């Protein structure tokens, strides 16, 4: 389990995170959502120990990430949005750098590369941005870490590759893993992320499972408008409308509509989910 308590971080006088508290549980793929500049990437780099918390604490299975103890470093991986083109073949990169993770599996690297239809014998400097992204995703999954942090992993992927990404993440990660994926591409990950974390400037607006969300909010897809809807958006054939779930009826959560609802009713949503 990862426990974040009263976490704070600033770049000079610009406060990015303030009093951030949440827990991340094993066996979950968390979606980390938020507008640009709210601190999603900063949070990921704090979780993997690249930055030191300036206030509060992070506890990862009893360890502090910034202490950078080998036992934790070998069981976590941070996939940045930036993917450098190394002057070597993808397989050579995997063999050389996989040594730093004790559970690295070269066979799995080849399997995931095959899922992506990516050539491990291709030189990374000759790859497109999308091919590089798929190479680093394959490497990240092959490290077999318990803690996996991904920053905008589907940026640069074409439509077939996004489907392959979802398949790879669900098939090639450990059952006890804690996966945190920061994304603006909600539709790319809609079928695999649960719970949903929505980060605001210096605040956590929501940290809830899809089940918890559907218990408290109702997502209506009819053409008939609901007067007291919290959010309404026109779609072909009708509307997506989000209301308070007063009847207890199940509905399919639309994450984009959820995100917009939360940002239009921040205090209301925090009150509903923090009871």
Q: Residue 271: in which H helix or E strand, if any?
A: helix 266-273
Structure-token pair, residue 231: 């959010």
Confidence (pLDDT) at 180: 98
Confidence (pLDDT) at 225: 85
Confidence (pLDDT) at 222: 86
Q: Is 219 exposed, middle or buried (0-12, 13-18, 19+ CB in 10 A)?
A: buried
Q: Is 211 exposed, middle or buried (0-12, 13-18, 19+ CB in 10 A)?
A: exposed
Q: Kindly tell me if the per-residue pLDDT of 127 is higher than 90.
A: yes
Confidence (pLDDT) at 174: 93
Query: 34-38, 84-88, 193-197, 242-246 — which is least confidently predicted?
Result: 34-38
Across 3-28, average pLDDT = 95
Phi first, then psi, for residue 54 (nearest 5°) are -90, -15
Structure-token pair, residue 107: 């066979």
Mean pLDDT, all residues of the chain: 94
Output 64 or 201, whichever has higher pLDDT. 64
Strand order in the sheet with 238-244: 217-220, 238-244, 231-235
Q: Kindly tell me if the per-residue pLDDT of 20 is higher than 90.
A: yes
Confidence (pLDDT) at 219: 95
Instruction: Report the helix count and the strand count for the chain, using DSSP H and E.
Output: 10, 12
Which residues, at least 6 apart from 182, have a Cβ–Cβ distance to it below 8 Å?
Answer: 32, 33, 40, 41, 43, 44, 149, 150, 151, 152
Select from 201, 197, 181 the least CA-distant residue to 189: 181
Confidence (pLDDT) at 275: 63
Contact 196/216 with Cβ under 8 angstroms? no
What whole-number distance in Å separates Cα of residue 141 and Cα of residue 101? 11
Q: What is the pTM of this model?
A: 0.93
Select from 32, 226, 275 the least CA-distant residue to 148: 32
Q: Kindly tell me if the per-residue pLDDT of 256 is higher than 90.
A: yes
Select from 193, 214, 240, 33 the least CA-distant residue to 43: 33
Contact 251/220 with Cβ under 8 angstroms? yes
Contact 216/272 with Cβ under 8 angstroms? yes
What whole-number distance in Å separates Cα of residue 169 and Cα of residue 138? 10
Contact 46/58 with Cβ under 8 angstroms? yes
Confidence (pLDDT) at 201: 82
Question: Tens digits of per-residue pLDDT, 54-77?
Answer: 999 999 999 999 999 999 999 999
Contact 77/145 with Cβ under 8 angstroms? yes
Question: Tens digits of per-residue pLDDT, 100-112?
Answer: 999 999 999 999 9
Domains and CATH numbers, the chain: 2-207 (3.40.50.300), 210-273 (no CATH)
Across 43-64, average pLDDT = 97
Across 190-197, average pLDDT = 93
What whole-number distance in Å separates Cα of residue 212 and Cα of residue 269? 12
Confidence (pLDDT) at 187: 84
Q: Is 197 exposed, middle or buried (0-12, 13-18, 19+ CB in 10 A)?
A: buried
Q: Residue 192: in which H helix or E strand, if any?
A: none
């Amino acid at each position: 389990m990862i426990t974040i308590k009263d976490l704070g971080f600033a770049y000079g006088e610009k406060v990015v995170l303030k009093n951030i508290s949440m827990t991340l549980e094993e066996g979950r793929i968390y979606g980390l959502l938020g507008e640009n500049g709210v601190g999603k990437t900063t949070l990921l780099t704090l979780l993997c120990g690249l930055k030191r918390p300036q206030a509060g604490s992070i506890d990862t299975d009893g360890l502090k990430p910034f202490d950078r103890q080998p036992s934790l470093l070998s069981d976590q991986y941070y996939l940045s949005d930036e993917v450098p083109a190394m002057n070597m073949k993808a397989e050579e990169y995997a063999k050389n750098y996989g040594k730093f993770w004790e559970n690295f599996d070269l066979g799995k690297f080849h399997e995931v590369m095959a899922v992506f239809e990516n050539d491990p014998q291709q030189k990374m400097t000759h790859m497109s941005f999308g091919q590089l992204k798929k190479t680093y995703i394959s490497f990240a999954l092959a490290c077999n870490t318990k803690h996996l942090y991904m920053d905008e992993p589907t940026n640069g992927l074409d439509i077939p590759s996004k489907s392959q990404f979802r398949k790879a993440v669900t098939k090639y990660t450990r059952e006890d893993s804690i996966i945190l994926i920061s994304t603006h591409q909600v539709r790319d990950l809609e079928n695999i992320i649960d719970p949903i974390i929505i980060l605001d400037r210096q605040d956590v607006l929501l940290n809830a499972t899809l089940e918890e969300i559907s218990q408290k909010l109702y997502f209506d897809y009819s053409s008939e408008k609901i007067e007291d809807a919290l959010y309404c958006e026109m779609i072909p054939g009708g509307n997506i409308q989000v209301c308070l779930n007063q009847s207890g009826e199940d509905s399919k959560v639309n994450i984009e509509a959820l995100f917009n609802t939360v940002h239009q009713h921040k205090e209301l949503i925090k009150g509903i989910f923090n009871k």
